[in-house]
C-alpha cells in the first residue's frame, strides 16, 4: 500500500525524470548493441519491451492521476506502442495501490463535513478499486442502501498540465519513430479536466440511467446529498470484471450473450445521437450473474457534432459498397486525407492504407453475424495499426480521437470475449440514423434559402 501521494510538481517531476532516465538508458544501450551488429532474437525483443513497460508502470502507479490515465489509454491503443507495453499497461484498468486509509478519511471529512464512520452506517476503509484519478470504497447508508464512494486523489486537477508535458517527453522515447503525440495528449488533458469534476459525472450518471437502465443494462444512481466535486457517492453495481469473468471459463453462449449486450449498448447510443460513454475499457463493465451488463464510470462522456457524426457513420456504407470516390470524399471531409496535397503520391499511398484499414474495420458489419474470436481479424486489425504510414502531421477531425477510441475499445473487449455477434440491428440503426440526418440536413438547407 502506498503511504503518500506525490502532489507537487517537483515531486512528480522527479519520478518522471527517474523513469525517463531508466527507460532512456535502456533504449540507448540497446541501440548501441544493434549499431555494432549484435542481433536480437524475437524473445529478447519481447523481454526488453516488457521489462521497460514494467518500469514505466511501476513509476506511473506512484503518480496515479494523469500518468495512469495515459497508461490506461495506451493499453487500449494497440499499434502505437510495442505489444508488450500494451499488455503490461492493461494492469492500469484493474489494479492500482490505493492511497492510505487516513488520507482517504481526511478527504471525506474535508468534502462531506465529517468522517465516514459518522456519516455512513458502515464504511469499508479498504478501497475496492483504485484507478487513475480516484479510488472507490464500499459503504452502507443509514437506510441500509449499499453504495460506492469514489474519492478523488488530492491535487489531481492541479497536476494535469505539468504531468502531460512530462509524460509526452517520456513517451517520445518509447513510441514508434515519427508518431505524432500532440492530438493524443491534448485529448487526454482536456478529458482529464472534465473527469475531475464529480458533480458533472453525477449528472451524467443520472442521464445514462434514465436512458439505458432496463432489463439488460444496470447503471448506478447518483446520491447527490453525499457528493461534491471531489467525492462521488452512487448506488453499488455488483458483477465481475472481464478478467474475472474469463477466469471462470464461461461457455460460448455466455460470451456471446454479454458480447451482444456490449455491441447493442454501443449502437443504441449511436441511434440516440446524444452523449456517448467514451471510456470503453474492460474496467468499466461488469458481467453479472443475472445476465445483465453493468456499466459504470461516466466521467468521460462525449457528444459529437452533427457533421462529424454523419461523416463518420457514412464511412461504413462506403466501405461495404466499395464506393471508392465517395470513400475518398468522406476521408477528405474528416480531414484524414488532403484534397490538394503537396505530395500526391504519398497522399495516394495513405488513402490506400485508409481504404484497406477501413475495410478490416468494417468487416464485422459485412454479414448478418460476426465472430470476434476470429484470429485473422485481430491479426489484420493489429497489423494495419502497426503499419500506419508516417505523415508527420496531425490527421483527422478532433472528434476522431474519441470515436476511434470507443470503437476500438469495443472491438478489443469483444475479441477478448471471443464473442459471436448478430449485427443485423446495428446495420439497420446505421441506415436509419443516416437517413434521418440526411433529411434534417436537406430541411436545414431548404430553410436557409
pLDDT at 118: 96
Alpha carbons 118 and 203: distance in angstroms, whole number: 26
Which one, of 64, 146, 147, lies nearest residue 100 by Cα? 64
Quote the cell numbers at residue 264. 447493442
pLDDT digits (tens, 9 = 90+) for 133-146: 788 999 999 999 99
Alpha carbons 298 and 395: distance in angstroms, whole number: 28
pLDDT at 77: 47
The answer to whether 177 touches 89, Cβ cutoff 8 Å, is no
Confidence of residue 448 (pLDDT cuts 50, 70, 90): low
Quote the cell numbers at residue 26. 535502456
Q: What is the largest CA-CA distance in the chain?
A: 71
Confidence of residue 241 (pLDDT cuts 50, 70, 90): very high
Residue-wise burial string across 251-290, b where 16 or more C-beta atoms lie within 10 A, e elsewhere: eeebbbbbbbbbbbbbbbbbbebebbbbbbbbbbbbbbee
Confidence of residue 78 (pLDDT cuts 50, 70, 90): very low
Was domain 101-152+197-302 assigned CATH 1.20.1250.20? no
Strand pairing of 293-295 and 134-140? Answer: unpaired
Q: SS3 of 406, please? A: helix
Alpha carbons 71 and 90: distance in angstroms, whole number: 8
> What are the beta bridge partners of residue 240?
287
Quote the cell numbers at residue 222. 447518483
pLDDT exceeds cutoff 90 at 384: no
Name which of 72-81, 290-299, 350-359, 378-387 the model is least confident about.
72-81
Q: Which residue has the higher pLDDT, 223 or 391?
A: 223
Rg, C-alpha atoms of the chain: 23
Q: Which helix (H) or strand (E) holds 287?
A: strand 285-287
Quote the cell numbers at residue 96. 492500482
Rounded average pLDDT over 340-347? 86
Which one, of 269, 289, 286, 287, lies nearest residue 278 by Cα? 269
pLDDT digits (tens, 9 = 90+) for 256-309: 999 999 999 999 998 888 899 988 888 899 999 999 999 999 988 988 888 888
Whole-prediction pTM value? 0.77
Q: Domain limits of the chain?
A: 9-94+157-193, 101-152+197-302, 306-448
Q: Which residue has the higher pLDDT, 151 or 161?
A: 151
Amino acid at each position: 500500500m502506498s503511504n503518500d501521494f506525490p502532489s507537487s510538481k517537483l515531486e512528480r517531476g522527479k519520478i518522471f525524470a527517474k523513469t525517463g532516465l531508466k527507460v532512456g538508458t535502456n533504449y540507448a544501450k540497446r541501440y548501441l548493441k544493434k549499431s555494432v551488429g549484435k542481433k536480437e532474437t524475437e524473445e529478447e525483443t519481447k523481454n526488453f519491451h516488457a521489462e521497460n513497460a514494467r518500469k514505466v508502470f511501476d513509476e506511473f502507479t506512484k503518480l496515479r492521476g494523469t500518468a495512469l490515465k495515459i497508461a490506461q489509454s495506451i493499453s487500449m491503443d494497440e499499434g502505437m506502442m510495442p505489444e508488450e507495453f500494451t499488455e503490461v499497461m492493461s494492469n492500469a484498468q484493474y489494479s492500482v495501490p490505493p492511497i492510505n486509509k487516513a488520507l482517504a478519511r481526511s478527504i471525506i471529512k474535508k468534502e462531506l463535513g465529517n468522517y465516514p464512520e459518522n456519516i455512513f452506517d458502515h464504511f469499508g476503509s479498504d478501497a475496492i478499486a483504485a484507478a487513475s484519478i480516484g479510488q472507490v470504497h464500499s459503504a452502507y447508508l443509514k437506510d441500509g442502501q449499499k453504495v460506492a464512494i469514489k474519492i478523488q486523489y488530492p491535487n489531481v486537477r492541479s497536476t494535469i498540465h505539468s504531468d502531460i508535458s512530462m509524460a509526452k517527453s517520456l513517451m517520445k522515447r518509447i513510441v514508434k519513430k515519427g508518431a505524432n503525440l500532440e492530438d493524443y495528449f491534448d485529448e487526454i488533458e482536456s478529458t482529464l479536466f472534465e473527469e475531475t469534476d464529480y458533480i458533472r459525472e453525477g449528472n451524467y450518471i443520472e442521464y445514462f440511467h434514465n436512458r439505458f437502465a432496463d432489463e439488460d443494462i444496470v447503471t448506478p444512481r447518483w446520491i447527490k446529498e453525499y457528493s461534491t466535486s471531489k467525492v462521488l457517492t452512487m448506488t453499488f453495481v455488483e458483477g465481475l470484471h472481464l478478467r474475472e469473468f474469463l477466469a471462470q471459463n464461461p461457455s460460448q453462449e455466455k460470451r456471446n450473450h454479454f458480447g451482444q449486450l456490449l455491441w447493442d449498448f454501443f449502437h443504441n447510443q449511436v441511434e440516440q445521437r446524444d452523449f456517448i460513454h467514451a471510456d470503453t475499457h474492460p474496467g468499466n463493465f461488469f458481467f453479472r450473474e443475472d445476465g445483465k451488463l453493468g456499466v459504470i464510470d461516466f466521467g468521460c462522456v462525449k457528444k459529437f457534432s452533427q457533421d462529424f457524426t454523419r461523416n463518420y457513420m457514412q464511412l461504413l456504407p462506403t466501405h461495404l459498397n466499395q464506393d471508392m470516390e465517395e470513400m475518398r470524399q468522406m476521408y477528405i471531409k474528416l480531414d484524414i486525407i488532403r484534397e490538394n496535397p503537396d505530395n500526391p503520391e504519398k497522399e495516394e499511398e495513405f488513402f490506400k492504407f485508409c481504404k484497406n484499414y477501413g475495410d478490416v474495420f468494417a468487416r464485422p458489419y459485412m454479414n448478418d453475424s460476426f465472430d470476434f474470436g476470429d484470429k485473422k481479424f485481430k491479426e489484420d486489425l493489429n497489423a494495419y495499426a502497426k503499419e500506419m504510414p508516417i505523415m508527420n502531421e496531425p490527421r483527422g477531425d478532433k472528434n476522431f480521437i474519441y470515436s476511434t477510441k470507443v470503437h476500438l475499445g469495443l472491438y478489443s473487449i469483444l475479441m477478448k470475449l471471443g464473442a459471436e455477434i448478430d449485427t443485423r440491428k446495428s446495420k439497420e440503426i446505421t441506415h436509419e440514423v443516416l437517413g434521418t440526418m440526411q433529411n434534417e440536413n436537406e430541411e436545414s438547407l431548404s430553410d436557409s434559402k
